Structures are given as structure tokens and as C-alpha cells.
Amino acid sequence: MARPSSPAAESAAGTAAADAAGPDRRDRAWLQALTTEAAALDRSSTAERVADALRRRVTEGHLAPGTRLSEEQLVAVLQVSRNTLREAFRLLGHEGLLVHRLHRGVFVTELTDEDLVDIYRVRRAVECDVVRRLGEVLDPAAGPEPLGQLRADVEAGEDAARRGDWSAVGTANMHFHQHLVALAGSPRLDGTTARLLAELRLAFQGAAAEHVHGPYVARNRALFELLHAGRTEQAATELEEYLDVSLAHMTDLRHGPRR
Amino acid sequence: MARPSSPAAESAAGTAAADAAGPDRRDRAWLQALTTEAAALDRSSTAERVADALRRRVTEGHLAPGTRLSEEQLVAVLQVSRNTLREAFRLLGHEGLLVHRLHRGVFVTELTDEDLVDIYRVRRAVECDVVRRLGEVLDPAAGPEPLGQLRADVEAGEDAARRGDWSAVGTANMHFHQHLVALAGSPRLDGTTARLLAELRLAFQGAAAEHVHGPYVARNRALFELLHAGRTEQAATELEEYLDVSLAHMTDLRHGPRR
DNA sequence: CTTGTCGGATTGTTCAACGATTCCATAGTG
DNA sequence: CACTATGGAATCGTTGAACAATCCGACAAG
């Protein structure tokens, strides 16, 4: 998630090289695939690994929102220097998971109700726009079925729901929306949605995963079917209602059904 | 943009409750002014000040895209430690102005054509959505004329154009779009547009400011008038064409009118 | 002309230290 | 009893230096 670059580039390039004629075509495909992977190779950098570790702890709920992350303590545990730890803090801070108060330290972000509204405000703008403009980019050639990833996410969610694994339902749901936006092919939109969904995970903590994620496997399926049928405008309005309902649901879960 | 959280809520509320009736008006005004300035004061943090300085140099074109920023050199010039300089680098890197290549150093970002398309892709999604949903938040009360800031930006652009100060036209143009998005009252949308516009400044470098910014003072005026008349839907379509034209204009300026 | 190797230069990371700031508790005052 | 202020403890911000890892250019060999 740190690199919003689109995955699945390799498989697409592979099939493209297979049916292409001429050695030049294949060379270009290979190079294309290599360059996309090159960025992922040198991604090490201790700070990013530390950030990954902390991100997992936060998004999986091991660190409650509001808790302070002591530099001294984490330096001792993670076996890294204070500077690199601070670098990791910066990374997560710009992702919205950690908030940095001057001379006070870093804390796990506490989402206010306004934040929740704001997040869904942006999601609605981004995701609905992506869906509405899908026709401009999706129809031609229909290459390797761009919706395949979405279908996989929907089915993964349904499987997990049957198994009662509501945590897996949640991640499948996240992947569904991430991949939905990825259809636009915009690195910046990918990045913003990745940040939004990461922040949203903070709000999921402390509530029963079944109630948080359960109701949306059916809606994901419905949305996917609309997209697959090419009814983008209808899908967009469905998605708008989807997100509004989801926001209302979230605020209810926080304050109790009535306030 | 860096700190979406709003402090000052507590102190303001506290004093307001303390002396409910008395010399309340003046006290509240003083405290309000102080608290707003307080946030700006302790926002210092050497790294952020260094970042501000570098940001100015980049956005004003003193550093051409692609140039490498030597740590050693900048440490000597800016009189700060290498670690704090690197922290400033990270800040600007996350804003998209600087790109950080492992073991190679930081460089002023070079925008590709795809980047330019992507930036306008997101701008169109965000700004048009803001305009379309303006009716939901603008009409009631109409408080302190929310469009006042926009009008000021439009007039500032027109004045600067009359003076031939095309650089000022450019900043007025930026402010116009920034304040347009600000009407939505969404901190996250504000942040993303701030980043987008900062990246866009990179693309403006190296072209005559008159051709880059000149054609848009009239369009800003037209857009403002539509908004002021409450014709949001018409304003949205106008804005769509506005942005499409602007993108085409930018790519033309880069490659010459024909390719 | 391409390929392999070497050395200088720059970056990545760590460490220890000092000044600055915040927080908390205690004591003093009305 | 409530309120302010004064102190100390803890933590953060910043610095400077040091070493290891990596990149870059030049040079030599095939």
C-alpha cells in the first residue's frame, strides 16, 4: 500500500507478449515489466520496514487510537535508531494513521465524527467519479477483463462471509474499493484512496467486525454486476447510496443506534 | 493542511463559558485572534522552516526540475544539521515536489505527460464534485458571503493582468481554485488540491507566464458569475471544459503546438 | 565497442549528547 | 477550599560525527 503502483502489471504484460508477433514486441513487454518491478526492488530502506511493522499493529487494532508511541520505548523494541524511527513516524503521519504533536510525541490518530464525514465525502467524490468515467476507458478492447480483480474480491468476500471470517470480509471489502478506483489508472487517485481506507480502518476498531463489514458483501456483488453490465450511471447512483448508508452505519456504531 | 486537527476549541469554549456576560465580545475576539496565531507560531520546527524555504525556491522556479539537491551543499548553506535537512526532504517528497531515489539523493520532480494528465484527472474529479454539491452547503444562511474569497481572487487576477504581472496572475489563479475547493469545508480535499497545485507549479516552469496563466482570468470570472448565480450544474460543466482546455494547453506548451 | 574493475564521492544509518519544551506534582497565596 | 506558580522529571528537537553501503565515473582488458 506504500506504493500505489498498480499490481497485475506482470500478468498483463505476460499475456500481451505471448500473442504478440515479432521479437521487438516481446522485448518491449519484458522491459516494461522489469521497470515496473525495479521500483519495488529497492523499496527496502529500514524506515519503510519499520513503518510497515507499525502500520500492521495499528490497522490490526493492537494499538488503540489515542495511545502515545514513545520514541525511547520503540527504539529499544525495534532495534533501530531514533532517527529512522522518526522517519517511519513521518511516513505514517502523512498516511493519516499517526498524528504528530510538536514536543509532545506521536499518537495513534483518533478520528472525530467530522473526520469520518470528511473521509466519506472524499470517497464519494473519488469513487463515484471513477465509476462514472469508466466507460471512457473500459469498453475498448476489453483486454484481459479489467473487472477480473473486482470479481475476485467480491467472491473472496462472499467466501469469507460463508466461513464467518469477518476480518477477511473486511479486507476483501477494502480490496474491492481499492481495485475499483484502480480501474481509473490514476496513481494519485490510488494513493488517496489507499490513505482514506487506511484511516477508515482506525474507525473499525472496537466494533464487531460482523456488523461493520457483513452488510456489504451483497452490495459489493450488486455493484459489480451493474459494472459488468456496463450500466455505469446506475452503478454510480448505487454507489452513492452505498457510501451514505455506510457512513450512517459507522456513526451509529460509534454512538449507539440512537443518540 | 499539515494539521487538519483544530486546536483552540477548548480554550475558546472555556473562556466563553467562564465570563458568559460581561466584557465578552472583546475578550473573545482577542482570544480568537491569539489562538489562530498560536497555531501558526509553534508550527515552526526547523525542518518545516527549511521545507518552506526549499518549497519557495522550487515553486518559484529557482530550481529547475531534475536538478539534484546535494545534502552537503545545502547543509552548509542553510546552517542546519543533515538529519533535519533530510526531514525537510521527506516533507517535500510527500508533497510530490521532490523525488527521493535510494542512495542517489533527492531531485526536483520532473513531471511526465502522464503525471500531467493524472493531475488534471484528479482536479476534474475533485473540483467538479465540489461545485456540483455546492448547493447542499452554500444556500442556507449564506453567512459571511462564502463566495467573497473567490470574488477577491478573481479581481486580483484581473488587476494583475491589467498590470501585466503574469506571475501574480498565476498565484491568483491558484488561490481561486484552492478557495473554490475550500467551499466544501473538507480538510482532506483541501490537502489534496494543495498538493496538486504545488505539483502543477512544477509544470509551469520554463514557459512564458503570460501564455500559461493569461487565458484563464476571463474563465475564472465566468465561472464565478455562474456560481454566484447559483447555476451549479452549468458551472460544473463549464469547469470540466475549463480543465480539459487547460490540460491540452499545458501539453501543447511542452511539446510545441503540433507534435 | 562492450565488459569488468577500481577508487572517490555521496548517501543510509547509527550513536551520544545538549538545549528546549511539556507535563505533573507540590507548595504557596487569597 | 480554590487557584496560581514554582519546581523537577521526562520527553522531544536538533546537532555533529562516525561508519557502512551504494552509486558514479574513469580506466583497463577483452
CATH number, position A196? 1.20.120.530
A188 with B45: Cβ contact below 8 A: no
Question: What one-character DSSP code corresponds to residue A105?
Answer: E
Q: pLDDT class for B3, splitting at 50, 70, 90?
A: very low
A83 and A177 part of one domain? no
- Residue B97 neighbours by CB distance under 10 Å: 23
- pLDDT of A9 reads 33
A101 and A122 part of one domain? no
Grid coordinates representing A222? 450488486
Among B129-138, B154-163, B210-219, which is the least confidently predicted range?
Answer: B129-138
* Phi–psi pair at A258, nearest 5 degrees: -125, 155
pLDDT at B10 over 50: no
B117 and B236 part of one domain? yes
- pLDDT of B69 reads 94
The answer to whether the beta carbons of residues A106 and A93 sit under 8 Å apart is yes
- pLDDT of A15 reads 35
pLDDT at B28 over 80: no
CA of B4 to C1' of C2 (A): 56
Q: Among partner residues A83, A118, A128, which is closest to B188 by beta-carbon distance?
A: A118
Residue B1 lies in a domain: no
A99 with B5: Cβ contact below 8 A: yes
Query: Can you tell me the distance from the alpha carbon of B256 to that of B259, in angstroms, rounded to the nearest whole number?
Result: 7
Residue A1 lies in a domain: no
Stretch B28-44: mean pLDDT? 51
Q: B196 in contact with A at a CB cutoff of 8 Å?
A: yes
Of the candidates A122, A135, A139, the residue with the CA atom closest to the CA atom of residue A194? A122
Q: Is A72's CB less than 7 Å from nucleic acid strand D?
A: yes
Stretch A214-242: mean pLDDT? 91
Query: Can you tell me the distance from the alpha carbon of B185 to that of A149, in angstroms, rounded to the nearest whole number?
Result: 34
The answer to whether the beta carbons of residues A181 and A127 sit under 8 Å apart is yes
Domains of chain B: total? 2
pLDDT at A18 over 70: no
Q: pLDDT class for B156, splitting at 50, 70, 90?
A: very high
Looking at per-residue pLDDT, the higher value among A210 and B77 belongs to B77
Residue A21 lies in a domain: yes
B108 has which bridge partners?
B98
B77 and B202 part of one domain? no
- Residue A214 neighbours by CB distance under 10 Å: 17
39-68 on A, CB < 7 Å from strand D = 42, 68
pLDDT at A235 over 90: yes
Q: A119 in contact with B at a CB cutoff of 8 Å?
A: yes
Q: pLDDT class for B189, splitting at 50, 70, 90?
A: very high
A154 and A48 part of one domain? no
Stretch A137-147: mean pLDDT? 60
Q: Among all strands, which nt has the closest C1' to A103 (CA)?
A: D12
Residue B38 lies in a domain: yes
Among A151-155, A177-181, A250-254, which is the least confidently predicted range?
Answer: A250-254
Query: Can you tell me the distance from the alpha carbon of A97 to that of A119, in angstroms, rounded to the nearest whole number?
Result: 13
Residue finishing a domain among B90, B108, B126:
B108
Q: Is B11's CB less than 7 Å from nucleic acid strand D?
A: no
Question: What one-character DSSP code corresponds to residue A65?
Answer: T
CA of B3 to C1' of D30 (A): 61
Question: For chain A, how many residues are written?
Answer: 259
- pLDDT of A3 reads 36
Of the candidates B194, B110, B118, B198, the residue with the CA atom closest to the CA atom of residue A4? B118
CATH number of the domain within which B96 lies? 1.10.10.10
Among A144-153, B16-25, B119-128, which is the least confidently predicted range?
Answer: B16-25
Residue A2 lies in a domain: no
A86 and A129 part of one domain? no
pLDDT at A140 over 60: no
The answer to whether the beta carbons of residues A50 and A84 sit under 8 Å apart is yes
Q: Which domain holds residue B210?
A: 113-255
Residue finishing a domain among A54, A78, A108:
A108
Among A245-259, B48-62, B113-127, which is the least confidently predicted range?
Answer: A245-259
Residues whose CB is less than 8 angstroms from the CB of residue B178 and which lie 6 or more positions away in sequence, other chains included: B190, B193, B194, B197
Residues whose CB is less than 8 angstroms from the CB of residue B98 and which lie 6 or more positions away in sequence, other chains included: B54, B58, B69, B89, B92, B106, B107, B108, B109
Q: What is the pTM of this model?
A: 0.81
pLDDT at A42 over 70: no
Q: pLDDT class for A38, splitting at 50, 70, 90?
A: low
Average pLDDT, chain B: 81
User: How far is residue B184 from each of residues A125, B9, B135, B140, measured CA to CA in Å?
Assistant: 11, 21, 10, 14
Q: Which residues of B touch A94 (CB under 8 A)?
A: 94
Looking at per-residue pLDDT, the higher value among B107 and B2 belongs to B107
Residue A66 lies in a domain: yes
Of the candidates A146, A157, A156, the residue with the CA atom closest to the CA atom of residue A181? A146
Grid coordinates representing B200? 502543477
Residue B160 lies in a domain: yes
B33 and B145 part of one domain? no
Amino acid at B70: S
Which of A188, A195, A239 to mutate to test binding with chain B, by most B CBs within 10 Å of its CB?
A188
- Residues whose C-beta lies under 7 Å from strand C: A 44-47, 79-84, 87, 102-104; B 42, 68-72, 82-83, 86, 100, 102-105
B17 and B102 part of one domain? yes
A159 and A83 part of one domain? no
Residue A239 lies in a domain: yes
CA of A200 to C1' of C29 (A): 50
B153 and B88 part of one domain? no
Residue finishing a domain among A108, A141, A175:
A108
Q: Among all strands, which nt has the closest C1' to A44 (CA)?
A: C12
Helix (H, G, I), strand (E, B) or coil at B98: strand
Q: pLDDT class for A29, splitting at 50, 70, 90?
A: low
Starting at the edge strand found earlier in the chain, the sheet holding B68-69 runs B68-69, B105-108, B98-101
B129 and B230 part of one domain? yes
B119 and B246 part of one domain? yes
Burial class of B78 by CB neighbour count within 10 A (0 to 12, 13 to 18, 19+): middle
